[in-house]
Chain A
Amino acid sequence: MSVRLNVFCGHFGSGKTEVSINYAIKLANEGKKVTIIDLDIVNPYFRTADARKILNEHGIELIASEFANSNLDMPTVPQDIKKVFYDENAYVIFDVGGDDDGAFALGQYNSFFQKEPYRMIFVVSTKRPLTETCDDLYEMARNIEHASRLKFTDIANNTNLGKLTTEDTLLSDYKEIEALSEKMGIPVTMQCGLEKSLSNLPKEFDEQKFPMNIYIKMPWEV
């Protein structure tokens, strides 16, 4: 049951961009027509537009600010976003900038989101400072909802420690995420990570498994 409009929001550094890119590629591999929107008006570094090549290879359309990765810190919203709301065949991934500051950019599309069902996924990593507990995450979620004028529908657990992630990392503070899910009244639908860091997940999580590749590399990793 995939929904056409998929919005990924969360704390900056929670891994929204990697999750978004992987989700776009997954949909494209299922044969869907996919557009990914780099809606990050907050952070000029490490963003969806960095993965332009791999997205092209999968036939995924990228809509990004013409200033993305330029030498200009220009928090602009790409002008051709609105067209995706008129193309009923397109699956759309919104990779939204961090925190409520980033989610603010979504507000202007509210009338479109009123017209059809959407998924808004709260990407969480409890290994990120300031979002380590259920209460901190809840406050961030509510701030994002307020800024975006949209409601979260799902939680994606992307708890990781970068290169030091092990198969134990994802569920290391899982009680916080379970409490969050209960408090917000929405389910956890994705357990994200590299294939190997998902290898030890208990059976009950089988349907939520979301194996990822890392597409945004450091300059010394190329």
Chain B
Amino acid sequence: MSEKVLMKGNEAIGEAAIRSGCRHFFGYPITPQTELSAYMAKKMPKIGGVFLQAESEVAAINMVYGAAGAGARAMTSSSSPGISLKSEGISYIAGADLPCVIVDIVRGGPGLGGIQPAQSDYFQVTKGGGHGDYHLIVYAPNSVQEIVSLTADAFNKSEEYRVPAMILGDGTLGQMMEPVDFDSVPEPITTNKDWATTGTGLKREHNIINSLYLSPEALEKTIIERQKRYDIIKEKEQRYEAHDIEDADIVVTAYGTTSRVVESAVKTLREEGLKVGVIRPITLWPFPVKVFAEAANTAKAFLSVEMSMGQMVEDVKIAVNGKAPVYFFGRTGGIIPTPQEIIEEVRKIAGGLK
């Protein structure tokens, strides 16, 4: 069955979540992710699932907390300012070691900012957002088809590691339409959820979902154990797409929507004879440090292109570790870089290398 349909990115997240076994969606409207909530509102009642429009973002994330604690595959979605509101709940979910999937279709910030696409929440989603030593597994798709497979992966990996996962998109990715099929959605994994609050049946001790620890020793022990899981994730779950990096003088890196613009620019540059390669991080946390470290052995320069004032570029610098200069080009406030701007930026760097 590979029947293709034409879908918006936001709708594709919804359908992929449903096919990944998600039957609990807690939403609150905000542009530019509202189609996801609208899709779930139409679809969930037809398949025996729950769609609930909460009274606020804070309520929605805490409903996810509750549903996840009971062992359900649960999802919520929002856009930048709404993710700020959800951040307290996300920290609690991480602190209680619960799986869930949070969708962030990023818009311009800070504050109310604007509704046009942006990538200025990279720090928020990869370095915290909420309080405490915690991480989300962050997936950054760059097409509607990849949204489908990464949404499925987000549910499975979240459950495997008991770490909340995030799908990070932007307004363009959420709103644009591309043909998709759902063949790539794997069977949902099943784990033994012996931690879930599903009723003891008088046969076992109570399970308690909690992030409060009365003794600092117990809290430290829990955090260190969680950190060990993070270390495994960092080792095993780095994902990226790369091409032409073996002979590249300049490696351009970008994720999500921006990577589509970069690909268009790099095609032109390679036709001109410039040796340009591309690394596209697919996981933003864990950041794909290995491929950057390897490329740094041969590349003469790196360029990070973002819809921000320079956020991912810091992780690129850490990964490249001083072996080559790392440049940055960004537009922000809802402006998408053009292929021409990127071409000129790469030409400038190439000129300096000679």
Is there a chain A Cβ closer than 8 Å to B318's Cβ? Answer: no
With A45-B175, A219-B261, A220-B339 as contacts: A73 and B115 at CB distance below 8 Å: yes
A-side contacts of B336, CB under 8 Å? 219
Is there a chain A Cβ closer than 8 Å to B263's Cβ? Answer: yes
With A44-B32, A162-B177 as contacts: A125 and B6 at CB distance below 8 Å: yes
Q: Give the residues from 68 to 127 in chain A that come closer than 8 angstroms, CB to CB, to chain B.
A: 70-73, 125, 127
Is there a chain B Cβ closer than 8 Å to A130's Cβ? Answer: yes
Separation of A173 and B140 alpha carbons in the complex (Å): 34
Q: Which listed residue, B4, B15, B114, B261, touches A72 by the CB 8 Å rule?
A: B114
Is there a chain A Cβ closer than 8 Å to B11's Cβ? Answer: yes
Closest approach, in angstroms, between the C-beta of A140 and any C-beta of chain B? 11
Q: Which listed residue, A44, A132, A164, touches B115 by the CB 8 Å rule?
A: A44
Is there a chain A Cβ closer than 8 Å to B219's Cβ? Answer: no
Q: Which listed residue, B31, B39, B172, B257, touches A73 by the CB 8 Å rule?
A: B31
B-side contacts of A1, CB under 8 Å? none
Assess whether B175 is in contact with A161, with CB atoms less than 8 Å apart: no
Assess whether A71 is in contact with B114, with CB atoms less than 8 Å apart: yes
Assess whether B5 is in contact with A129, with CB atoms less than 8 Å apart: yes
Separation of A46 and B9 alpha carbons in the complex (Å): 13
Separation of A50 and B288 alpha carbons in the complex (Å): 36
A-B contact pairs, 21 of them (CB 8 A): A13-B177, A45-B32, A45-B176, A70-B114, A71-B116, A71-B334, A128-B5, A128-B6, A129-B11, A129-B15, A130-B39, A160-B6, A161-B4, A161-B5, A163-B178, A218-B176, A219-B257, A219-B261, A219-B338, A220-B261, A221-B264
Closest approach, in angstroms, between the C-beta of B320 and any C-beta of chain A? 26
Is there a chain B Cβ closer than 8 Å to A3's Cβ? Answer: no
Q: Mark B259-279, 1 if CB is under 8 A from A, else 0.
A: 011011000000000000000
Separation of A160 and B177 alpha carbons in the complex (Å): 11
Assess whether B260 is in contact with A127, with CB atoms less than 8 Å apart: no
Separation of A73 and B114 alpha carbons in the complex (Å): 8
Interface secondary structure of B, over-half rule? mixed
B-side residues, CB < 8 A to A, are 4-8, 11, 15, 31-32, 35, 39, 42-43, 108, 113-116, 171-172, 175-179, 257, 260-261, 263-264, 333-334, 336, 338-339
B-side contacts of A219, CB under 8 Å? 172, 257, 260-261, 336, 338
Assess whether A127 is in contact with B176, with CB atoms less than 8 Å apart: no
Assess whether B115 is in contact with A127, with CB atoms less than 8 Å apart: no
User: 8 additional contacts, CB 8 Å, given A73-B31, A129-B11?
Assistant: A13-B8, A46-B175, A46-B176, A71-B108, A71-B113, A71-B115, A219-B336, A222-B339
A-side residues, CB < 8 A to B, are 12-13, 43-46, 70-73, 125, 127-130, 132, 160-164, 218-222
B-side contacts of A161, CB under 8 Å? 4-6, 179
Closest approach, in angstroms, between the C-beta of A7 and any C-beta of chain B? 22
Of B4, B5, B11, which is in contact with the most chain A CB atoms at under 10 Å from its CB? B5
Separation of A128 and B45 alpha carbons in the complex (Å): 19
Assess whether B4 is in contact with A44, with CB atoms less than 8 Å apart: no
With A44-B115, A45-B32 as contacts: A127 and B4 at CB distance below 8 Å: yes
B-side contacts of A129, CB under 8 Å? 5, 7, 11, 15, 39
Separation of A160 and B5 alpha carbons in the complex (Å): 9
Assess whether B175 is in contact with A163, with CB atoms less than 8 Å apart: no
